[in-house]
A and B are shown apart, each in its own frame.
Chain A
Amino acid sequence: MKPRYDLAVIGAGPAGLTAATLAARRGLSTVLLDEQAAPGGQIYRAITRSPVKNPSVLGTDYWHGADLVGPFRDSGADYLPGTAVWSVSRTLDIGLSRDGAARILPARHVILATGALERPFPVPGWTLPGVMGAGAAQILLKTSGLVASGGVVMAGSGPLLWLLAWQYLRAGARIDAILDTTPRENWRQAMPLLPAFARSGYVGKGLKLLLEVRRKVKVIGNVSALRAEGDGRVQSVVYRQGDGAEQRLPADTLLLHHGVIPNINLANAIGCAQSWDEAQRCWVPDVDGWGATSVAGVAIAGDGAGIGGALAAEHRGRLTALDALHRLGAIDRATRDRDAAPHREALDRALRGRDFLDALYRPGKDFRVPADDTIVCRCEEVTAGQVRDAVKLGVSGPNQTKSFLRCGMGPCQGRLCGPTVVEVIADARGVSPAEVGYYRLRPPVKPITLAELASLPKAEDEVAAVMHH
């Protein structure tokens, strides 16, 4: 580890890998910091060490991740896996924890490649054991080769749900049903965007996968209400189709998914300006075409700056790295722009059809704005009804509900409740989420122990000693 790097990249998914690779190859002293033990991020999780030996289980798109790891290994960038980044200051001092000790690592430029999170999907019973996110289930599959045993019900909407169903089937899991919550009216809004999607290259692969899943699993569409029930753990899933009567399905596992949203926690805590994205219904950091944020020296690459998918993330990583080279004086503007051209073109190709997916898989309002008795904040067990009551008392935004109800104050720092709290307040006040705002998040954005914090080297020479060890 060097005492100070030109560039620190946070997150070893496709955006972080390509950003670090390009920057290091072109001469910047670069470090890639990542929380996981191995590169890949979520989408290519465990790409170098997955126990899933049959490549057809995870699909060829997954194995493309290996094409990013090799060049990174050869790039000369330093790589620090198992590193939690819990703070970045305005002066670009990075607070990190590694092997039980905390350090401050200064950098001249920082690229956040913190990726996406599953959108919270608060339904009654979602806190029961046996209910989990489809993303979490997919991580178990990639890292440990595990699938849920017994009867699995999947519910929700979006490409990842179908991909996981397909991977699950290939891995030999038993899926009893897929409850598709995609609202009917989404089709009407998505249809005009279909032509661009049809040219995107995803369409063939997507359709094949969808048909294969539909051939093997009962798919129940137009699901308008959903809850998990069980004594101590999930035993059944109760749902409604359109205006129909309640139906009940036995289930040992319920996998929920409502698409992914940018993981903005670190960017937010740094103070990067952010805006409400109406199309994807989430908060996204404000970035320019190079990923630059409102905070000098901090850029964001990949899904953390807005959902575009793994291929887009790859190209956005390269563009952000070229801008970092330029800002650090390694290349001039003309070189940056010239070298960026092919990546920009590839990015446009990768993003083609994204509007269609955003429109089609936009979660229905009943699932974004849950009923009163549904828990929205799992850490502090705060219900949607309590949030509405606070609004009646004059609470106007999520930072006040934080102070008032403690929601968003738990260890997850709003990752599981923030988007829902915003939607509930906006709905109760009859205004846009843009007006309601979002939590001001606070470092450490990843929990660290008091012992780690107490271990923070104090004096300059102490810091140097730790960094050179």
Chain B
Amino acid sequence: MSEPDVIIVGGGLHGCSTALHLAMRGVRALVLEKDHIGRHASGVNAGGVRQLGRHAAEVPLSVASMALWHGIRDLVDDDCGFESHGQLKVAETEAELESCRERAAQLTALGFTHEEVVDQAELRRLVPSIAEHCLGALVSRRDGAAIPYRTTFAFKRKAESLGARFHEGAAVARVARSGRNWRVETADGVAHEAPVLVNCAGAWADRLAAQLGEPVPLEVIAPMLMITARVPPFLKPVVGATGRTLSFKQFPNGTVLIGGGLLGRAYRDENRTDLDFAKVSTNARTVWDLFPIMRSATIVRSWAGIEARMPDDIPVIGPSGTEEGVFHAFGFSAHGFQLGPIVGRITADLITRGASDLPIDAFRIQRFRHTAAAA
């Protein structure tokens, strides 16, 4: 078997997307995944495809990614269950509505127009079932949601069809220089070499970074989600709240997904999470308040994925600060799904052209040099 040009560690959406964008340029990528494709954050997240409310540094990337989402079938030959009925953040008080207005003004000043404030009448038109006390919302109309595992799997399949290779059940045990190459050994004793290494290892990415001499303060988190049995269709957009933590949407099959980033406990060495039902209950109360229609709905399942969060809540994207031929894309801090399509392209650009046309300085790994050393 010929050696690859690039070894990507981690078969989540970002790893698969990077493999796809490389394969589209004729670069041979090998993805090493310790479990199976989309096993963790990429397969079990809420599936929100959201520009709304993003950190200023992420906005240009998010807008560029949204363009890819709207042509997702052309990119990966599968619609990924993507539906675009908008996302909105409900304001329950006048103060919250005012903060929505400030946010929209801020974005306009930056040159972006995808977020707008709507009044109570428009909110009720978009979300007829919203509780009466809600006064308005911040809306991003081209946002939506997709099916996470299906999306990740579609990226993998398309990449594979273009020549990328995927080794599942291949946990990376060690990386080391081998002449001009990186030598990557997996736990089952197999070694691969390539001149370029990409770290898309999600909640495990700090271990790889540490081996490369650049430790990062990564926190392993387990955002919790729950889903209901089918109820009659009542909701198209994805609904969040301004003053509370909530992510709420109904799938075409009638089930309703309730999330919002409340955390359970993660045990990454065991690939396991524990739920914290006291917090799940908080989420249930939020839904109770905002969607009276949901009070009799039945919860059939709840779960949490294992993800990485950085101290400043934005990811690490870009070249290594210590080693040639190494690139990072991790630490998406519970909102990396929408960015998946563009981050793969950015990383492929960095590898093949040495630069990206999108602003990524804010995501440099070097920003943690001091904090990680102190930690």
Contact = CB atoms under 8 A, between A and B. Distances in A.
Interface of A: 87, 89-90, 93, 95, 102, 104, 271, 393-394, 396-397, 400, 403-404, 406, 409-411, 413, 442-444, 447-451, 453-456, 458
Interface string B270-309: 0010110110111011011000001111111111000000
A453 B288 CA distance: 10
13 contacts: A89-B277, A95-B277, A394-B153, A403-B43, A403-B148, A447-B229, A450-B287, A450-B297, A450-B299, A453-B281, A453-B299, A454-B281, A454-B287
Given A87-B275, A450-B288, A454-B284, A411 B300 contact: yes
Contacts of B299: 444, 447-450, 453
Contacts of B280: 453, 456
B36 A396 contact: yes
A458 B285 CA distance: 11
Contacts of B287: 450, 454
A458 B281 CA distance: 8
B301 A409 contact: yes
A428 B334 CA distance: 36
A396 B294 CA distance: 36
Contacts of A455: 281
Contact of B278 (A90, A447, A458): A458
Nearest to B39: A399
B157 interface: yes
Nearest to B229: A411
Nearest to B255: A409
> Which of A87, A394, A406 lies at the interface centre, i.e. has the most chain B CB atoms within 10 A of its CB?
A394
A456 B150 contact: no
B80 to A, nearest CB: 12
A271 B272 contact: yes
Nearest to B152: A403
Contacts of A403: 38, 43-44, 148-150, 153
B298 A411 contact: yes
A450 B157 contact: no
Given A87-B277, A443-B275, A456-B277, A404 B153 contact: yes
A307 B296 CA distance: 37
A404 B150 contact: yes
A35 to B, nearest CB: 16
Contact of B297 (A89, A406, A443, A449): A449
Contacts of B300: 410-411, 413, 444, 447
Contacts of B43: 403
Given A95-B277, A449-B296, A442 B153 contact: no
Interface string B247-281: 00000010000000000000000001011011011
B181 interface: no
> Which of B253, B277, B285 lies at the interface centre, i.e. has the most chain A CB atoms within 10 A of its CB?
B277
Contacts of A442: 301-303
A454 B294 CA distance: 11
A367 B212 CA distance: 54
Given A413-B301, A448-B299, A404 B288 contact: no
B170 to A, nearest CB: 14
A89 B303 CA distance: 13
A271 B298 CA distance: 23
4 cross-chain pairs, A with B, having the tightest CB-CB distances, nearest first: A403-B149, A456-B281, A454-B284, A453-B284
B228 interface: yes
Contact of B296 (A95, A404, A406, A450): A450
Interface in B299-325: 299-303
Nearest to B228: A450
A104 B229 CA distance: 23
B34 to A, nearest CB: 14
A404 B156 CA distance: 14
A403 B297 CA distance: 22
B147 to A, nearest CB: 8
B274 A90 contact: yes
Nearest to A412: B300
Given A104-B278, A442-B303, A449-B298, 18 more contacts: A102-B281, A104-B277, A397-B36, A400-B36, A403-B149, A410-B229, A413-B300, A442-B301, A444-B302, A449-B297, A450-B298, A453-B284, A454-B288, A454-B295, A455-B281, A456-B277, A456-B281, A458-B281
> Which of B168, B287, B294, B299 lies at the interface centre, i.e. has the most chain A CB atoms within 10 A of its CB?
B299
Contact of A394 (B149, B157, B297): B157
A203 B219 CA distance: 61
Contacts of B302: 442-444
Contacts of A447: 229, 298-300
A442 to B, nearest CB: 5
Nearest to B153: A404
